[in-house]
């Protein structure tokens, strides 16, 4: 499968057409942004790690009954995926308070919830990805009620599966963001990526942050943290 026209270039990935109209190639970049593009930088080696980690995790989820866009990894930095139309929602699942949740509700980072918290944001950079509920999403025709129910069930299942995978490796899954897409026939599948760019991952022993917060908050050791989580993931999958 070969890359044809560049269809889209985002903050962390490029997407190319292929000879097959139903398939696309995703190419992961080392570029990093935070705070809606205000902070920019490069995390050396991130493209390869995010590509490989996302593929390992999606293959595992697929095995356990979550349909994904993954077709196959083409090389360390590029993957063949099914073409989807993205549902313009950022689907966030939280197990512990952190980031915007802590800020919004004034609670300390690390507060553990009795049940996972699921939230939707409208994927719209111009508006700053505002939080929304099911009624808002339906009113804006971002998804149907039925689709939202499917997305919610998959998101919670993904959370259970990923929590287990990371717990086995001494890592706490604090929260994560996923995106879903529709195949040509309307089937909802997991799309985008699952990586330290999109998950908060803390060492279970030391509570050290092993994710993009090291970049967002200038904590140093960003590359090393990405390498370490990838190494811990690969040992034993
Ligand atoms: N997240 C993401 N992309 C976004 C916003 C959030 O991948 O545009 C991830 C983020 O890495 C974290 C989770 O979603 O794992 C929850 O993020 P939060 O809402 O706390 O926002 P943040 O504090 O990152 O702005």
Parse the chain into domains and list their residue ranges: 6-82, 85-234
Q: CB-based contacts of 217: which residues, under 8 Å, 6+ apart?
A: none
Average pLDDT over residues 17-28: 98
pLDDT bin (cut points 50, 70, 90) of residue 53 is very high
Among the listed residues 203, 226, 201, the one whose alpha carbon sits nearest the alpha carbon of residue 99: 201
Q: Mind listing the pLDDT tens digit for each residue in 146-176?
A: 999 999 999 999 999 999 999 999 999 999 9
Decide whether any atom of ligand 1 lies within 6 Å of the 200 Cβ: yes
Pocket test for ligand 1, best of 175, 192, 199, 209 (most atoms within 8 A of CB): 175
Quote the mean pLDDT of the chain.
97
Q: d(Cα 34, Cα 37) in Å, to the nearest integer?
A: 5
CB 208 within 8 A of CB 171: no
The number of the ligand 1 atom at minimal distance from the alpha carbon of 35 is: 25
pLDDT in tens, 223-235: 999 999 999 999 8
Residue 41 CA neighbour count, 13 Å, CB half? 17
Residue 67, ligand 1, Cβ within 6 A: no
Helix (H) / strand (E) containing 171: strand 171-182
Q: Is ligand 1 within 6 A of the CB of residue 101?
A: yes
Q: 212 CB under 6 A from ligand 1?
A: yes
pLDDT over threshold 60, residue 20: yes
On the question of pLDDT at 45 being above 90, the answer is yes
Does ligand 1 lie within 6 Å of residue 210's CB atom? Answer: no
Distance 99 CA to ligand 1 centre (A): 7
* Nearest by Cα to 95 from 45, 35, 155, 44: 155
Read off the DSSP letter of residue 99. H
The span from the CA of 67 to the CA of 62, in Å, is 5
DSSP 223: H
The SS3 assignment for 19 reads coil
Q: What pLDDT is recorded for position 172?
A: 98
**pLDDT of the residue at 99:** 98
Residue nearest to atom 21 of ligand 1 (CA): 100
Cβ(99) – ligand 1 distance below 6 Å: yes
- pLDDT (average), residues 70-83: 98
Cα 144 to averaged position of ligand 1 atoms, centre (Å): 24
Of residues 174, 120, 182, 114, the one with CA closest to residue 147: 182
* C-alpha distances out from residue 114 to 97, 111, 164, 174, Å: 11, 10, 16, 13
The proportion of the chain whose per-residue pLDDT surpasses 70, expressed as a percent, equals 99
Q: In the Cβ-directed half-sphere of 211, how many Cα atoms lie within 13 Å?
A: 25
Question: For 154, how many CA atoms within 13 A lie in the half-sphere containing its CB?
Answer: 24
Q: Whose CA is nearest to atom 19 of ligand 1?
A: 100
- pLDDT category of residue 237 using cuts at 50, 70 and 90: low
Q: Rg (Cα) of the chain, in Å, rounded?
A: 17
Residue-wise pLDDT for 173-231, tens only, equals 999 999 999 999 999 999 999 999 999 999 999 999 999 999 999 999 999 999 999 99
Q: Is any ligand 1 atom within 6 A of the Cβ of residue 29?
A: no
> Which of these CATH numbers, 3.30.200.20, 3.40.50.2000, 3.90.1490.10, 3.30.300.30, describes 6-82?
3.30.200.20
Output the pLDDT for position 235.
87
Query: Is 100 near ligand 1, meaning CB less than 6 Å away?
Result: yes
Is the CB of 109 within 6 Å of ligand 1? no
CATH level 2 (architecture), domain 85-234:
2-Layer Sandwich (3.30)
Contact 67/190 with Cβ under 8 angstroms? yes
Count CA atoms closer than 13 A to 141's CA, side-chain side. Answer: 0
């Amino acid at each position: 499968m070969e890359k044809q026209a560049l269809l889209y270039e985002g903050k962390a990935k490029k997407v190319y057409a292929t000879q097959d109209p139903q398939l696309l190639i995703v190419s992961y970049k080392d570029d990093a942004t935070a705070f809606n593009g205000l902070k920019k930088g490069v995390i050396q080696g991130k493209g390869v790690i995010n590509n490989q980690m996302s593929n390992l995790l999606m293959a595992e989820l697929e095995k356990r009954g979550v349909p994904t866009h993954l077709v196959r990894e083409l090389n360390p930095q590029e993957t063949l995926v099914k073409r989807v139309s993205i549902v313009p929602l950022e689907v966030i699942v939280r197990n512990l308070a952190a980031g915007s949740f802590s800020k919004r509700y004034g609670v300390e980072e690390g507060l553990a919830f009795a049940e996972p918290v699921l939230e939707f944001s409208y994927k719209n950079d111009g508006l700053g990805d505002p939080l929304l509920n099911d009624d808002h999403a339906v009113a804006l025709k971002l998804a149907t009620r039925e689709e939202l129910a499917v997305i919610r069930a998959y998101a919670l299942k993904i959370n259970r599966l990923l929590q287990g995978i990371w717990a086995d490796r001494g890592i706490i899954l604090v929260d994560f963001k996923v995106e879903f897409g529709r195949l040509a026939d309307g089937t909802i599948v997991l799309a985008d990526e699952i990586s330290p760019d999109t998950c908060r991952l803390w060492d279970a022993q030391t509570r050290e942050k092993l994710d993009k917060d090291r970049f967002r908050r200038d904590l140093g050791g960003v590359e090393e943290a990405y390498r370490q989580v990838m190494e811990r993931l690969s040992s034993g999958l």
